[in-house]
Structure 1
Amino acid sequence: MSGPFDGGPLDSDPFDEYPSGPDPFDDSPSGLSPFTPAPFTLGPALLFCPADRPERYAKAVERADAVILDLEDAVAPAARADARRALIEHPLDPMRTIVRINPADTADFALDLAALERTEYRDVMLAKTVSFGQVEMLDDFRVIALCETAAGVISAPEIAAARNVVALMWGAEDLVASLGGSSSRFADGRYRDVARQARSQVLLAARAHDKAAIDTVHLDITDTAGLSDEAADAVASGFTATACIHPSQVEVIRSAYQPTTAEVDYALGLLEAAASARGVFQHEGRMIDGPVLRHAEAVLRRAAG
């Protein structure tokens, strides 16, 4: 089947036919202001979809809050040219689509970027991000930096500081592989300590720079209880969204992120009581101060969608 990738520049020098545009970070007197991306608001359920399976695109974006079209691990190396072609020929709503591209130190990285230039997609997830400099190469895009190696987790604070980074995500399986390990979880499904530490480090780095944090996927599709528990822990800890790999996981994640009626009622009552209180006060047997009020406000924001 012929297509835009057959014998074209994307399989040789991917940037020859694309004139370089203005630098969005250029502070020169040209009048162009620095590029400051809008905050990341997608979620809570972000569904991965292999980019070489365009017949699944519509279902994925219909079922989830946003879709992550995957050019990396979900696609066999031999199929990546087809995946890039599908990315171009089967467009989705760019406001609800993220494209996961290959790591910056791979040959596929440049080919992925060249393909993206033929689309309207500007939200990209950089696989195996390990440095601030890698993110700087993506200055035309809103970047979700995937910190899934030892180097990436250690560098998460500097990565989160990049202006075009809108979110950080962590990954358990690639992390353990980068350590030379064999499993991120115990037999009962709980994360091992190193995975839990990485999860916390990425969350802290993201929120320290006022960026969103995305929790990683739950690989056991049949374990809805485990996914529900992890998603509930994610939202309670401060994650903005959770990624998933199967449409059946979407509603589990949404349910975990949606406050219960009891939680909403308590938050409303607490804030109503705070309006007439001075400083620290007692409400339903509990001492209430500023941080607790912010917890209540967060519950109401989630309830509002």
Structure 2
Amino acid sequence: MELFRSILYVPGAKPRALARASQAGADALVLDLEDAVAPAAKTEARRGVAGMLQGGGFAGRRAIVRINGLDTPWGRDDLEMVRQCRPEAVLVPKVESAEALERVRTGLGDAAGAVPLWAMLETPLGVLHAEDIARHAADRGMRLSCLVLGLNDLSSATCASQLPGRVPMLPWLSGTVLVARAYGLPIVDGVFNDYGDERGLRAECEQARHLGFDGKSLIHPAQVAVANAAFAPSREEIAHARAVIRAFEAPGAESLGAIGIDGRMVERLHLSQARRVLALSAA
């Protein structure tokens, strides 16, 4: 079972950050060639990321490259680098249509089958078209393997404030989780900007987990431990999952659709949830 608890963005233009990224303990690293890199540093950042990928510099961590959009002066060169270096996946920014993913897949050429796509939903059209994007990818056999929210861009585009509790954004958060679950995709929440506010980060991670997200996008290594803990099953959840499995696997339980456990009615549909909790714990 793949883990998506902590997805750490690493600026491609910062060699020291790239060199230390694998030590942060994140489940995956996004080597960023887009928003975290100034235009004047794009070429050097691409070279640095390519060198690290080719040199095996990420110590077994999943390395995903966020390219610049193909409509920018750097996108095509980024995609060619991805085609040659073949990271774990390519994160496509500002996806607003299925056609945007098709263009990336075409640009990957012979690497299209080896490099999965992650799609960033960070514009109004991206969120509105999320279901079309996921359905198209499934129908065409496209290797779309994760959805990622970009709430900073979405906030800017909509003028919605990123308040504590994120009330203005709750419909978008829940709506994209529904799309992800409908098409069997993991989904990762957007970043928490104040990396010095551990309490705020923990609260936002817990909210995201309750909403159904698999993990959190992060901008600083100090955020990793909080996200890993927040998106991991608690001892109580693990104990309850084991109790559910024992109850439904007990002799005679095969004919039962619901069982009372600790004063609570548990249906057979909760059995798959219990197994997922244990699988996540084991991973």
User: What TM-score, normalized to structure 2?
Assistant: 0.86
User: Do residues 77 (structure 1) and 43 (structure 2) align?
Assistant: no
The one-character-per-residue Cα deviations of 1:213-260 (angstroms, maximum 9, x if unpaired) are 111111111221222222223334332221101111000011112222
Q: 1:90 aligns with which of 46, 52, 55?
A: 52
| 1-structure distance, mates of 2:88, 2:27 | 17
User: Do residues 191 (structure 1) and 157 (structure 2) align?
Assistant: no
Q: 1:246 to 1:134 in 2, by over 3 A?
A: same
Letter of the 1:274 counterpart: F
The aligned residue for residue 116 of structure 1 is 82
Q: 1:103 to 1:192 in 2, by over 3 A?
A: farther
User: Do residues 44 (structure 1) and 5 (structure 2) align?
Assistant: yes
Letter of the 1:178 counterpart: A
The one-character-per-residue Cα deviations of 1:5-30 (angstroms, maximum 9, x if unpaired) are xxxxxxxxxxxxxxxxxxxxxxxxxx
The one-character-per-residue Cα deviations of 1:41-95 (angstroms, maximum 9, x if unpaired) are 2432111000011221131122122210001111111111111111122223486
User: Do residues 165 (structure 1) and 165 (structure 2) align?
Assistant: no
From the CA coordinates, give the structure whose radius of gyration is larger. Answer: 1
- The percentage of counterpart residues that share the same residue type is 33
Letter of the 2:65 counterpart: V
After TM superposition, give the deviation of residue 122 of structure 1 in Å: 4.7
| 2-structure distance, mates of 1:257, 1:241 | 6
The aligned residue for residue 22 of structure 1 is none
Letter of the 2:156 counterpart: A
Question: Could you tell me whether the CA contact under 8 Å between 1:160 and 1:167 is conserved in 2?
Answer: no
The one-character-per-residue Cα deviations of 1:92-130 (angstroms, maximum 9, x if unpaired) are 348610011112322221121122233232511111111
Question: Could you tell me whether the CA contact under 8 Å between 1:49 and 1:68 is conserved in 2?
Answer: yes
User: Do residues 202 (structure 1) and 176 (structure 2) align?
Assistant: yes
Letter of the 2:13 counterpart: D
User: Do residues 285 (structure 1) and 263 (structure 2) align?
Assistant: yes
Letter of the 1:191 counterpart: R
Q: 2:196 aligns with which of 216, 222, 240?
A: 222
**Unpaired stretches in structure 1, ≥5 consecutive residues:** 1-39
Question: Could you tell me whether the CA contact under 8 Å between 1:42 and 1:96 is conserved in 2?
Answer: no
Q: 2:123 aligns with which of 130, 142, 149?
A: 149
| RMSD (Å) for aligned C-alpha atoms | 1.8
Query: SS at the partner of 1:69?
Result: strand
| 2-structure distance, mates of 1:114, 1:145 | 18
| 1-structure distance, mates of 2:66, 2:51 | 17
Question: Could you tell me whether the CA contact under 8 Å between 2:28 and 2:62 is conserved in 1?
Answer: yes
| 2-structure distance, mates of 1:81, 1:242 | 28
Aligned length: 261
Query: SS at the partner of 1:90?
Result: helix
The aligned residue for residue 263 of structure 1 is 237
The aligned residue for residue 61 of structure 1 is 22
Query: SS at the partner of 1:107?
Result: coil
The aligned residue for residue 212 of structure 2 is 238
| 1-structure distance, mates of 2:125, 2:27 | 30
Q: 1:285 to 1:205 in 2, by over 3 A?
A: same
After TM superposition, give the deviation of residue 285 of structure 1 in Å: 0.8
User: What TM-score, normalized to structure 1?
Assistant: 0.80
Question: Could you tell me whether the CA contact under 8 Å between 2:191 and 2:217 is conserved in 1?
Answer: yes
Q: 1:301 aligns with which of 276, 279, 283?
A: 279
Report the structure, 1 or 2, having the larger helix content. 2
